[in-house]
Structure 1
Amino acid sequence: MTRTGSGARSIMDLTPGEWQRALGIADDDIPVAIISEGSWWREQRTQWRLSELEDVRELTFPDMFLGRWHDRPVVYACAYGAPRAVEVAHLFGSLGTRLAVQIGTCGGLQRGLRPGDIVVPDVVACEEGIARVYGATETTTADKVRSATARGSLENRGFRVHNGVHLTWHSIFAQSGEMVTKWSDAGHLSVDMETATTLAVANHFGMSAVSMLAVWDELLAGRSFLDPLDPDEQASLDAANAAVFEVALELVDAL
């Protein structure tokens, strides 16, 4: 671990070898991709996602699971919020992982977005406090080629898919109606709490990165995750949540 002149130790400067030993993984188990999901419902989402993988084991760091997809190592983590998402992307970016996929849900900031739509942004505004530490400016970017591939695959499944300037913010508890109106008027399409961080860290380490987010909240209508969906809306949201993971695994196959 690198020490500064004051004797302080910098986690950010740990070497790849140090991280690999700390994680307890062999060279053959360094993942080709990470799939990071922002969700409160950690147990549910983890069960859903790991059921698709083989030879799953939890790594020494909690809630990071190594499995195999078509015999290729993949890490899945349910990482809620930017402070957790940065850990997943940084750890495996430092080890040379090739692809980072952010999945989860988002709030719609434009009229016409409805539950079960999917946002796959090329550009993300960084307002969550971490992306700029990794070299991002006001915005960061996804891999446009792989994002287009993801959009096409989702559209072929029958989903309404959107691309626009997405926004990543600190917390759903720290956003007001006034903020929502301001973001919408500025042209932002949607908002989450992880995407800018995952993309910025991925870009820092030279990883390809894609974000696929199912629309849940209709924020301009004052409708949040606390408001129940009707059965058709819930079915659409559930289908979108399943599809983003399926397409993430397709992106792994294409590496």
Structure 2
Amino acid sequence: MGAWEHEKNLTLWRDKIVQDIWTPHWNSIIGNLHNQKIGFANVFGGPSAAVICHQFASLGTDIFIQTGYFGGLSHDVQFGDILIVTAAEMADGVSHWYLPNQQTVQSDRELIEAAVSFCKDKGYSYVTGTVFTTGAIMVETREMVQEWAKHGHIGVDMETATTLAVAAKFNKKAIGLLNLSDHIIKGDTFYSPNEIREEVKKKTDEKIRELALYLSR
């Protein structure tokens, strides 16, 4: 997951992975669920995501699911939507080391279809589309945001392209499932507190965890 609240997120996932839990790194846990080994790592930014994905892929992990948050670049996406990422533009500074001849990296088609089917069956609100993955969020300008949106991206994040690229390098399946944190195309930012919005984000996080566990089986 791409987020900075490490201990909080580890606790949330530890409650779901209830058997034979062990901690290989300070920001990750591994355990068994439904007779299957599953792991969670809390990362922030491309380099952090790459370290975890590279090691786990080398050890035989077959599916990588990037969860976390994105800044909205489309007026069509709403708080409460699950963004099922179909592809990511690689501007993170890490992914091109794994896929040097590419500008974008795709999510696994089967995982996309399974995620869409799950959301439809559950009645969960979702959108599909691409993200722009950047290496820094503090330097973005209004002009940058408009340019990213002009290229058709639904959102911007810091990890998805990295995770997809590392997985692709090792011939593994991967997908991104993201929660809208702030609607930057509308001038909104996550520095603007909103209790109603935070409650919606919290409920959407839980739906994304449910979906991620379903896809991991």
TM over 0.5: yes
Q: Which contiguous aligned blocks of 4+ residues in structure 1 show a shift greater than 2 angstroms?
A: 154-160, 233-236
- Asked if 2 retains the 8 angstrom alpha-carbon contact of 1:124 and 1:165, the reply is yes
- Asked if 2 retains the 8 angstrom alpha-carbon contact of 1:79 and 1:85, the reply is yes
> Of the candidates 117, 138, 157, which is equivalent to residue 103 of structure 2?
138
Mapped to 2, the partners of 1:151 and 1:46 lie a distance apart of 26
Aligned length: 215
Deviations 1:113-141 (A, max 9, x none): 22221111211110001111101511001
1:175 aligns with 2:140: yes
- Asked if 2 retains the 8 angstrom alpha-carbon contact of 1:105 and 1:213, the reply is yes
TM-score by length of 2: 0.94
In the other structure, the counterpart of 1:192 is: 157
* TM-superposed deviation, 1:221: 1.4
In the other structure, the counterpart of 1:86 is: 50
Higher strand share: 2
* TM-superposed deviation, 1:109: 0.2
Structure 2 alignment gaps of length 5 or more: none
Deviations 1:42-68 (A, max 9, x none): 111111111100221211x32121111
1:40 aligns with 2:13: no
* TM-superposed deviation, 1:151: 2.1
Mapped to 2, the partners of 1:156 and 1:148 lie a distance apart of 12
Higher relative contact order (CA 8 A, sep 6+): 2
Most deviating of 222-231 and 202-211: 222-231
**Identity, % of aligned positions:** 29
Mapped to 1, the partners of 2:137 and 2:120 lie a distance apart of 28
In the other structure, the counterpart of 2:181 is: 216
Backbone CA RMSD of aligned residues: 1.3
Mapped to 1, the partners of 2:93 and 2:52 lie a distance apart of 16
- Correspondence list, 1:82-161, <5 A: 82-135=46-99, 137-161=102-126
- Asked if 2 retains the 8 angstrom alpha-carbon contact of 1:116 and 1:238, the reply is no
In the other structure, the counterpart of 2:34 is: 70
Q: Give the AA of the match of 1:75.
A: G
Q: Give the AA of the match of 2:39.
A: V
Secondary structure of residue in 1 paired with 2:50:
helix
CA 1:155–1:175: 2 relative to 1, 3 Å: farther
Mapped to 1, the partners of 2:93 and 2:119 lie a distance apart of 30
* TM-superposed deviation, 1:236: 2.2
1:204 aligns with 2:169: yes
TM-score by length of 1: 0.81
* TM-superposed deviation, 1:79: 0.6
- Asked if 2 retains the 8 angstrom alpha-carbon contact of 1:125 and 1:140, the reply is yes
Q: Give the AA of the match of 1:104.
A: G
Q: Which has the larger radius of gyration?
A: 1
Mapped to 1, the partners of 2:137 and 2:187 lie a distance apart of 13
* TM-superposed deviation, 1:230: 4.1
- Asked if 2 retains the 8 angstrom alpha-carbon contact of 1:82 and 1:197, the reply is yes
Secondary structure of residue in 2 paired with 1:172:
coil
Structure 1 alignment gaps of length 5 or more: 1-36
Secondary structure of residue in 1 paired with 2:85:
coil
Mapped to 2, the partners of 1:154 and 1:163 lie a distance apart of 11
- Asked if 2 retains the 8 angstrom alpha-carbon contact of 1:116 and 1:216, the reply is no
